[in-house]
Amino acid sequence: MLSAQRLDDNPCQPRHFKPPPCAPVVADGVAAEHLDATRTRLLLAIAMFAAIFLVVAGRLVEVVEIPGAAIEQRLARPRLVAPPLPVRADIVDRNGTLLATNLDSPSLYVNSKALLRAGEDPERVAKAITIALPDLSPTELRTKLSSGRSFAYLKRSLTPRQEYAVNSLGIPGIEFSPEERRVYPLGDLAAHAVGYCGIDNIGEAGIERGLNPTIKGAGEPVALALDARVQFVLKDELQRVVTQFTARGAAGIIMNAHTGEIVALASLPDFDPNHPPTTDPKHSSTEDKDRIFNKITSGDYEMGSVFKIFNTAMALDSGVATMTKSYDARNPIKIGRFTIEDYHGKHRWLTVPEIFMYSSNIGSARMAVDAGAQRQRDFLGRLGILRPVPIEFDKVDVAKPHFPAVWREVNVMTIAYGHGIAVTPLHLITGVAAIVNGGILHKPTMLKVKPGTHLPGERVISAKTSDQMRKLMRLVVEYGTAKFAAAPGYVVGGKTGTAEKNSGGHYQEKKLLSSFIGAFPMNDPKYVILTMVDEPHGNKQSHGYATAGWTVAPATSRIIERIAPLLGVAPVDENSPEIKRALQIESLAGKRIEDY
Amino acid sequence: MKRLSGLFWIVVVLVAGATNFFVKHTVQRLDDELNSARRKTVAAQKQIHDLTAEWTYLNQPELLSDLNRRYLGLAPMSPKQIQRSVDEIPLRPVAPPPAIEIPIEPETVAASVPAPAAPVPAAPSPAMPAAAPSPIVPPVATTIARATPAPTSTPSASPIVPVAATIVARVAPATAPVASPAAPVAATRAAPVATPIVPVATAPVARSPAPPAPVTPARAPSLDALFAEVAAGR
């Protein structure tokens, strides 16, 4: 090979060295095989890498380009600030007015060690703080500031304004501990409906207790059916009745006849849920117990003559009685040790409308006996009178009705006019709402029903009976015991009841429970209202009477006049032919109706 | 060729890197912005929440009714005052563009005068002395304040008058500047455009509300009072 090279240059610097041309290596046999195999492997490797990169690229496209893919939820976004969920959700009324809310109310404390270490003068600091919080005593402050301990409360529950004032002083060692408080901005307005909360943020009455889990879990405010304005009117007028008749208490409830929504619920005396009375049975006084007691759901009362609504509806609906049928009400009924008498007896045969209008106990008892125990019991059962009312309150706050286990004839008679059976006012209004609204029973509810929602309900009486009952209730206000309940333009109808309270097994003539249950406008009831007063005393204005017609009926009239515009019920001309026709009782047409 | 492709890839990597950096930077900045906006929102929400509570506290029906008794003496509406329901009131026969009601401020408006029944023709009637527009009002929004009605006018209360023509021009002698001779020009221009802008234009001129009577409520009206009440229960 070397001999073939031309050495015409410096051999040490083979600048012009060129390798001799040689033929390309043609692989033969084994080598060709090896080469092929290598190429295939190379191709495989390339394909593999390409595939991997394709996957990576695809994934990138998926993550970046496709919005809302499952991947997006997995992306960590820890840096975003989110509003903190409240410990308890707000409670608002049907118009969004706050009834209960949580407010930050940090407590102020001093870390005296840090304060002193920072070289602050306790004297000066105390002065600065008393300027921001004038209600603190400077001497007490000074001792706390210079104590050297690392924790001492200076003040609990600061307002945002106070917090700002103290914060802007910028004193080291003066610190806040975050705290939340349940606050009821409207105070005692809806105390019994809303209830209250203990210090540990657990509901202890009313809706706060009944819906405790919901309120704790929900971030959204809980909207009640309550209307704060209507509630105020109800409470205001009931309070007036209590003062006027020096009564022990009063209660009232207003319900939407077609949805069962409770628009107002008041029980007097009441309390301020911002600082409820002690419930400890050992320590709370009778007065405190009275205030915390919700008469509407927890009280069991023998409601008296208002029960004649149920009795008459039962008799009419079952076909036992008709509007023209008469019953003998000439003489009191003696049964066992009882004597059933009329308060203002007419001492003659009375037709069904007359029995209802004059509130005849004798006539009602005879009507009930006519229908029989089984029918009466079934009817009350159908109306839900014989079991606790299903409502969004805790079981503890809802009383069980009391009725005889064995339904004897004497029970049939007394239950006809509302004695010998004790129910809550809520039972009564729920039943009456079903009777006047066309015969459909709705569950009462504290929660707002979305407008326009169709509620199925359960038919308890026929539409015809409901129509007759509306006429009868209108009659009571026009000619009967509840004339003072009339609110011109709103076509009020209803029934009064004055029951003697039963204590220790006998009735007490002087301790009355006067109640009125009504609906308006009676030709097409929108709202049902129940007002009752506990142990009223007659006065000069009422000519010494403490009966429902003189106590709660006038109050109901005032309430309806005040709330109807708020509830969107327009007044009508009560003497217009349509209204007259709608509420005319055929059997009484053209007859002179004897006033009560 | 090889060197070219190498160069190409280097450029690609550089561009990709730079883009990545800037995108990341932008995202971070936007994230920060979003966060600070959120923080502000949360703070504002909290403030609104506190203020709502305070507002509700101040609007306790009991307190309001007490204030009413002492300062206003308003009585609840009686059924006699409500003669008809809203749907019983007949609608106006013609209802072109949305009707505009201008609240009349008795302190500042001396006389409210109906505008002519038909839209003002291009040439203004010489019988109409028009006040110059208020200086605050932009020229487009001019409302002409008329001292006297045009001879052709019908009262605006009549339901037959088309809404567009019933815009009430008013004289506000207390606040509006004195009429200037240049007014007719303004009048011609203003007539066709005045319709929808009227409330905007008149609002700043007509408002000079009398200061409300100072009110001293029975309770200290603030959240502090509410807290004091709450704290008392501890």
Segment A79-89, tens digit of pLDDT: 556 667 778 88
A181 to B230: CB separation less than 8 angstroms, yes or no: yes
Q: What residue of B is the nearest CA neighbor of A155?
A: B231
What amino acid is encoded at A563 in this protein?
I
Euclidean distance between CA atoms A594 and A587, whole angstroms: 14
- Dihedrals phi, psi of A547, to nearest 5 degrees: -75, 165
pLDDT at residue B140, rounded to an integer: 39
Contact call for residues A126 and A141 (beta carbons, < 8 A): yes
Residues 6 or more apart whose CB falls under 8 angstroms from that of B32 comprise none
- Dihedrals phi, psi of A577, to nearest 5 degrees: -55, -35
pLDDT beyond 70 at B92: yes
B224 to A562: CB separation less than 8 angstroms, yes or no: no
- Which among B57, B76, B234 is the nearest to A156, CB-wise? B234
Q: Which residues of chain A lie closer than 8 angstroms to B76, CB-CB?
A: 561-562, 565
- Which among B45, B53, B82 is the nearest to A103, CB-wise? B53
Nearest to A514 by CA among A491, A536, A498: A498
First vs last C-alpha separation in chain B: 87
- Which among B56, B224, B233 is the nearest to A97, CB-wise? B56
- Which among B50, B82, B233 is the nearest to A565, CB-wise? B82
A564 touches chain B (CB under 8 A): yes
pLDDT at residue B229, rounded to an integer: 65
Contact call for residues B143 and B190 (beta carbons, < 8 A): yes
Higher pLDDT among residues A18 and A35, named by residue: A35
For B108-120, b where at least 16 C-beta lie within 10 A, e where not — what string? Answer: bbeeebbbbbeeb
- Mean pLDDT within B139-159: 39
Residue range A230-264, pLDDT digits in tens: 999 999 999 999 999 999 999 999 999 999 999 99
Euclidean distance between CA atoms A206 and A145, whole angstroms: 43
pLDDT beyond 60 at B121: no
Contact call for residues A420 and A414 (beta carbons, < 8 A): yes
When pLDDT is cut at 50, 70 and 90, the band that residue B110 belongs to is very low
Q: How far is CA A62 from CA A73, A188, A485, in A?
A: 13, 58, 73
Strand order in the sheet with A180-183: A180-183, A98-104, A91-92, A222-223
Q: Which residues of chain B lie closer than 8 angstroms to A181, CB-CB?
A: 230
Q: What residue of A is the nearest CA neighbor of B87?
A: A570
* Optimal mutation site among A88, A103, A156, A189, interface B, most CBs of chain B within 10 A: A103
A101 to B52: CB separation less than 8 angstroms, yes or no: yes
Helix (H, G, I), strand (E, B), or coil: what is residue B71?
Answer: helix
Helix A308-317 to helix A373-382 angle (10° resolution) is 110
Q: Which residues of chain B lie closer than 8 angstroms to A97, CB-CB?
A: 56, 59
When pLDDT is cut at 50, 70 and 90, the band that residue B142 belongs to is very low
pLDDT at residue A214, rounded to an integer: 84
- Mean pLDDT within A442-447: 93
Question: Which element (helix H / strand E) includes A253?
Answer: strand A249-256
For A563-576, b where at least 16 C-beta lie within 10 A, e where not — what string? Answer: bbbbbebbbbebee
pLDDT at residue B101, rounded to an integer: 61
Residue range A104-117, pLDDT digits in tens: 888 899 888 888 88
Q: Which residues of chain A lie closer than 8 angstroms to B218, CB-CB?
A: none
Among A305, A360, A466, A515, the one annotated catalytic: A305
pLDDT beyond 60 at B178: no
Cβ–Cβ pairs < 8 A, chains A and B: 108
Contact call for residues A470 and A436 (beta carbons, < 8 A): yes
pLDDT at residue B26, rounded to an integer: 94
pLDDT at residue A10, rounded to an integer: 62
- Mean pLDDT within A262-275: 91
Euclidean distance between CA atoms B114 and B165, whole angstroms: 9
B61 to A228: CB separation less than 8 angstroms, yes or no: yes
pLDDT beyond 50 at B174: no
DSSP category for residue A528: E
Euclidean distance between CA atoms A426 and B136, whole angstroms: 62
Q: What residue of B is the nearest CA neighbor of A158?
A: B227
Residue A542 annotated among the catalytic residues of the structure? no
Euclidean distance between CA atoms B139 and B186, whole angstroms: 8
Question: Which element (helix H / strand E) includes A183?
Answer: strand A180-183
Contact call for residues A265 and A207 (beta carbons, < 8 A): no
Instruction: Find the range with the poorest average confidence among A100-104, A442-446, B63-67, B211-215.
Output: B211-215
Instruction: Find the range with the poorest average confidence among A142-146, A209-213, B214-218.
Output: B214-218
Instruction: Find the range with the poorest average confidence among A35-39, A128-132, A396-400, B136-140.
Output: B136-140
pLDDT at residue A297, rounded to an integer: 92
Q: Which residues of chain B lie closer than 8 angstroms to A568, CB-CB?
A: none
Question: Which element (helix H / strand E) includes A291?
Answer: helix A286-292
pLDDT at residue A583, rounded to an integer: 85
A185 touches chain B (CB under 8 A): yes
Euclidean distance between CA atoms A350 and A329, whole angstroms: 6
A571 to B223: CB separation less than 8 angstroms, yes or no: no
Percent of chain A with pLDDT over 70: 91
Taking all residues of chain A, what is their mean pLDDT, rounded to a whole number?
86
When pLDDT is cut at 50, 70 and 90, the band that residue A75 belongs to is low
A277 touches chain B (CB under 8 A): no
B42 to A81: CB separation less than 8 angstroms, yes or no: yes
When pLDDT is cut at 50, 70 and 90, the band that residue B188 belongs to is very low
Which pair of tokens denotes residue A239?
């309070």
A156 to B79: CB separation less than 8 angstroms, yes or no: no
When pLDDT is cut at 50, 70 and 90, the band that residue B97 belongs to is low
- Mean pLDDT within A433-442: 93
pLDDT beyond 90 at B25: yes
Which pair of tokens denotes residue A255?
């319900």
pTM, entire model: 0.71
**In a 10 Å sphere around its CB, with 0-12 CB exposed, 13-18 middle and 19+ buried, how is residue A447 labelled?**
middle
Helix (H, G, I), strand (E, B), or coil: what is residue A368?
Answer: helix
Whether the ipTM is more than 0.95: the answer is: no
When pLDDT is cut at 50, 70 and 90, the band that residue A70 belongs to is low
* Range 194-253 of A in CB contact (< 8 A) with B: 228-229, 232, 236
pLDDT at residue B98, rounded to an integer: 62
B227 to A488: CB separation less than 8 angstroms, yes or no: no
For A314-347, b where at least 16 C-beta lie within 10 A, e where not — what string? Answer: bbbbbebbebebebebeebbebeeeebebeebbe
Q: Which residues of chain A lie closer than 8 angstroms to B62, CB-CB?
A: 187, 189, 232, 236
pLDDT at residue A596, rounded to an integer: 64
- Which among B82, B222, B226 is the nearest to A570, CB-wise? B82
Any alpha helices (H) in A447-592, and if so which ranges?
463-479, 552-567, 577-583
Higher pLDDT among residues A55 and A511, named by residue: A55
- Mean pLDDT within A63-79: 63
Which pair of tokens denotes residue A205?
């009455």
Q: Which residues of chain A lie closer than 8 angstroms to B42, CB-CB?
A: 81-84
Higher pLDDT among residues B213 and A398, named by residue: A398
